[in-house]
Structure 1
Amino acid sequence: MNIGSIRRLAPAGLLACAAAWTGAAHGQASDWPSRPVTIIVPSAAGGAADFSARVFAGYIAKVHPKATVVVDDRPGAGGVIGTMAAKEAKPDGYTFLLSTNSTHAANLSLYKDLRYDPVKDFVPVGRFGTFGSVLMVPKESPFRSVQDLIAQAKAQPGRMSFGYYSSSSQVPAEMLKAAAGVVYEGAAYKNVTQIITDLIGKQFDFAFLDALSAAPALQNDRLKPIGVTTPRRLPQLPDVPAIGEAIPGYEMQGWLGLTAPAGTPPAIVETVSALMGKAMADPEVRQSLEAKGMQAGFLPARDMGAFIAADIVRWRDWVRMANIPPN
């Protein structure tokens, strides 16, 4: 065969390879899940991310009765430990990360040497929705409003304290400090469960808890909400003012979604993204999440990249407003 013949055959050969690859990719998606699926949660059990992952895992099992879905909680370092585990996982469409505003936006501004790139190392799958944080104090606290808390902080500068476990709990507290011109100290925790325990025990004065994590403590009537970080009051807490009502312009919201390691087959990404959309349209799933404080707002994979890019900018600005130096 001469060189000209090889050249004429090359395009046809490439097309055949491409067709074979496309067929294989669609084949992978059509039989998904054919083995256990893992959702890595970069925070502790009992928090908003863990709850959302388990709700979605339950929906997958409902749609695919023979499927096995493992929720793997890997807390620590503001979500970095779990996120690194997902980054290093095989990109075969069977490992996903329950991603958050911390892992995919805020951490870029909170850490000097972040060991992963939320854009380059992951592909977006979808967003479940957004959530605000709730300013919580012990049930017996004298504070009945954010104005009460600010007044006390001004009267006793440096003597008050708060606990935090993620960007959604640290940043709003520091933003409030900067906006009100007060001084208080923060204590870092590994998980929200211990923060709730210590806040009930009056080990510190207040904490910002994401709305989903705050729900059980509110239902048990052991903590008292005095403000929310959303632009408007939450439907679940209509009597609790938005902090922006006292401090104009104050606002902060987080989100929960799924990403996958870079290189995950696009066909599987689309399959799982579509499944997320169906889950969020299911009344049972939607109600269970909204009852915990989430504002349901599904975004598919095709829109998630632009959302994350914009959120990186939002959190950069919020971290700067809060005067938090990177670790």
Structure 2
Amino acid sequence: MLHAASTRRRCLSVIASLALIASTGAAHAQAEWPTRAPIRIIVPSAAGAAADFVARIFGRHLEQRLGQTVVVENQPGAATLIGVGAVMRAPADGYTFLLSGSSTQAANPSMFVKLPYDPARDFVEIGLFGMIPMIAVVKPGSPLKSIADVIARGKARDGHLSYGYYSSSSQVPPALIESRTGMRALAAPYKNITQITTDLAGGVIDFAFLDAMSAASALNGLLTPIAVTSPQRSPNLPAVPAVAETLPGFDMQTWLGLSARAGTPPEVIKRMGEYLRSATAEPAIRDALMKQGMTPRTSTPQEHTFFVAAERTRWAEFVRIADIKPQ
């Protein structure tokens, strides 16, 4: 009996030792991340858009911190679904990330009848870069000088008013204005912002709402801003009224964050969250983001998870009020 008990104790000791070795090995492997290159950041929009700008700034920050190559891949199209799909097909090993945002994580569940992914189930949230207002823009010399002009034209029986959109964040603001005022306008879908700015400048469409970061380069003479969707005027465009000055309470901003596939090692998520927060705390990066129209904000992975869940509820209400029919 004593011999059997002794044998059991030795077996349990061996098992415990093996478990300790295994857990130490796993922790060491995670602590060593990244052990290879490249780290990929998938941007589900075209080069030059807000998400692309943020991804490239963050990518350079990561390279300096990690000493590894970071590749930013633009995979635009299908209202962000192409880029999201690329991340979904990649291994959840901590080497592929999604430059996510209000479209991918919050609006899409309400914008599509059969969304090929569930942001709450299929992704883990890492952190927030910041908030971005939308800017209503027209071509220089347009008779539409304000949101009040847009509403008046949209209410006229012979208005023939049209706008372009390239994502849920650019589709919702004009739809909300239609819902609140009774104006009507023809909505024209586009694949990317470049096509919209070209058609706006050429007079093919009358107006559009572009995110502030993407619109920044076009506001240097190519397009004219007439309103912003933040509750107050933007510090970058103090002469441009907020939509809320015409429609009290109007507040519709977008945001950008970082996400990874569900199943990505928790230690990787934690470290990437730390790198994201260190990036947005760096004065040079903050200044660059603010000059492009973003208000930098930071969050932990847990805080960002709660924020995204609340945003899904908020965007569902936007889509309902605007009476947008899911695709």
SS state at 1:298 partner? coil
Alpha carbons of structure 1 residues 185 and 60: separation in structure 2 relative to 1, 3 Å = same
- Counterpart contact for 2:33–2:268, Cα < 8 Å: no
The 5 A counterparts of 1:145-156 are 145-156=146-157
Structure 1 alignment gaps of length 5 or more:
none
Query: Counterparts of 2:295 and 2:162 in 1: how far apart (Å)?
Result: 29
Query: Counterparts of 1:192 and 1:18 in 2: how far apart (Å)?
Result: 53
Query: Counterparts of 1:123 and 1:258 in 2: how far apart (Å)?
Result: 9
Alpha carbons of structure 1 residues 213 and 9: separation in structure 2 relative to 1, 3 Å = same
Match in the other structure for 1:44: 46
Match in the other structure for 1:240: 240
Q: Mean Cα displacement is larger for which, 1-10 or 116-125?
A: 1-10
Query: Counterparts of 1:10 and 1:313 in 2: how far apart (Å)?
Result: 50
Alpha carbons of structure 1 residues 213 and 24: separation in structure 2 relative to 1, 3 Å = same
Alpha carbons of structure 1 residues 164 and 230: separation in structure 2 relative to 1, 3 Å = same
Match in the other structure for 1:304: 304
SS state at 1:299 partner? coil
2:119 partner letter = P
- Counterpart contact for 1:29–1:271, Cα < 8 Å: no
SS state at 1:132 partner? strand
Query: Counterparts of 1:3 and 1:145 in 2: how far apart (Å)?
Result: 86
How far did 1:16 drift?
Answer: 4.5
Structure 2 alignment gaps of length 5 or more:
none
Match in the other structure for 2:144: 143
The 5 A counterparts of 1:65-80 are 66-80=67-81
Match in the other structure for 2:106: 105
- Counterpart contact for 1:87–1:262, Cα < 8 Å: no
How far did 1:105 drift?
Answer: 0.7
1:165 partner letter = Y
SS state at 2:188 partner? strand
SS state at 1:125 partner? strand
Cα deviation 1:177-200 (Å, max 9, x = unaligned): 111111111111111111111111
- Normalised by the length of structure 1, the TM-score is 0.94
Cα deviation 1:242-274 (Å, max 9, x = unaligned): 101111121111110110111111101111110
1:48 partner letter = A
1:153 partner letter = G
SS state at 1:112 partner? coil
Query: Counterparts of 2:165 and 2:20 in 1: how far apart (Å)?
Result: 50
Match in the other structure for 2:224: 224
How far did 1:85 drift?
Answer: 1.1
Match in the other structure for 2:199: 198
Alpha carbons of structure 1 residues 108 and 205: separation in structure 2 relative to 1, 3 Å = same
- Normalised by the length of structure 2, the TM-score is 0.94
- Counterpart contact for 1:88–1:261, Cα < 8 Å: no
How far did 1:19 drift?
Answer: 5.9
SS state at 2:324 partner? coil
- Counterpart contact for 1:128–1:298, Cα < 8 Å: yes
SS state at 2:299 partner? strand
The 5 A counterparts of 1:66-215 are 66-156=67-157, 159-215=160-216
Query: Counterparts of 1:18 and 1:194 in 2: how far apart (Å)?
Result: 58
Query: Counterparts of 2:303 and 2:17 in 1: how far apart (Å)?
Result: 30
Alpha carbons of structure 1 residues 25 and 261: separation in structure 2 relative to 1, 3 Å = farther
Alpha carbons of structure 1 residues 307 and 23: separation in structure 2 relative to 1, 3 Å = farther
The structure whose Rg is larger is 2
SS state at 2:198 partner? helix
SS state at 1:134 partner? strand
- Counterpart contact for 1:160–1:185, Cα < 8 Å: yes
2:49 partner letter = G
How far did 1:156 drift?
Answer: 3.8
Match in the other structure for 1:256: 256
How far did 1:2 drift?
Answer: 6.7
